[in-house]
Amino acid sequence: MQVTRILAVRHGETAWNRDTRIQGHTDIELNEHGRWQARQLAQALREEPIAAFYASDLSRAHETAQAVASVHDQPVSTHRGLRERCFGRFEGHTWAELESRWPEDALAWRKRVPDFAPPGGESLVQLQARVVAAVTELAARHPGEQVLMVAHGGVLDILYRAATRLELQAPRSWELTNTAINRLLWTPEGLSLVGWADTNHLQRGALDERTA
């Protein structure tokens, strides 16, 4: 059986990442450091065979994917299924603000209650269904090939859980670093994990920043 190799990447840093503000579907662009991360990622993957480049339609993910695709002289295709979880009224707030304004909702989020959805937002169950369906749809197009998928922290969390068969409520012990390289395999039976959170390209001096 031919497998699809997936390079799954979280977008570069944004100002809201730095401020620990919840982004969700709010379209926040990369900050200067995030663009540097995207350039470093592009250099790290410049020799990788990549058949297709996919990204969430939010600009922070699309711009990150575009940095890599440009090195390969290829376009980026967007897919709404790769969007971050919709956090409804939580978006734009910090964790401290959530605990202060909506303590019960904040506790349900902290405890990862699977069917809890912030008002106007998605539950973890809904996010899981959306993300797994989108990744399955895209990966099934490329048996025997490798593809890049640039998405968001919540999406990457779902993919890790799907690949390792962890429940939605299991505590997270893995990193979701901006532009870290994560490697997965997909077959019709599902996802499996190859490697996670490779950040060698983000170490200052690991790549020549002047050419990145």
Tell me: the pLDDT tens digits for 108-165?
999 999 999 999 999 999 999 999 999 999 999 999 999 999 999 999 999 999 999 9
pTM exceeding the 0.85 threshold for the entire prediction: yes
Q: Is residue 64 in some structural domain?
A: yes
Q: Is residue 208 in some structural domain?
A: no
Q: Is residue 118 in some structural domain?
A: yes
84 is catalytic: yes
CATH of the domain at 67: 3.40.50.1240
3-state secondary structure 51-114: CEEEECCCHHHHHHHHHHHHHCCCCCEECHHHCCCCCHHHCCCEHHHHHHHCHHHHHHHHCCCC
Distance CA 20, CA 153 (A): 13
Q: Is residue 207 in some structural domain?
A: no
145 is catalytic: no
Residue 205's pLDDT is: 55
Q: Is residue 44 in some structural domain?
A: yes
Residue 151's pLDDT is: 98
Domain count, the chain: 1
Distance CA 202, CA 41 (A): 8
> What pLDDT, in 10s, does the model give residues 153-205?
999 999 999 999 999 999 999 999 999 999 999 999 999 999 999 999 999 75
Q: Is residue 212 in some structural domain?
A: no
Q: Is residue 210 in some structural domain?
A: no
Q: Identify the active-site residue in 84, 91, 122, 152.
A: 84
Q: Identify the active-site residue in 11, 62, 93, 142.
A: 11
Q: List the domain range (segments joined by +) for residue 21.
A: 4-202
* Helix (H/G/I), strand (E/B), else coil: 6: strand
Nearest Cα residue to 71 out of 50, 38, 46, 37: 46
> What pLDDT, in 10s, does the model give residues 89-102?
999 999 899 999 99
Q: Is residue 53 in some structural domain?
A: yes
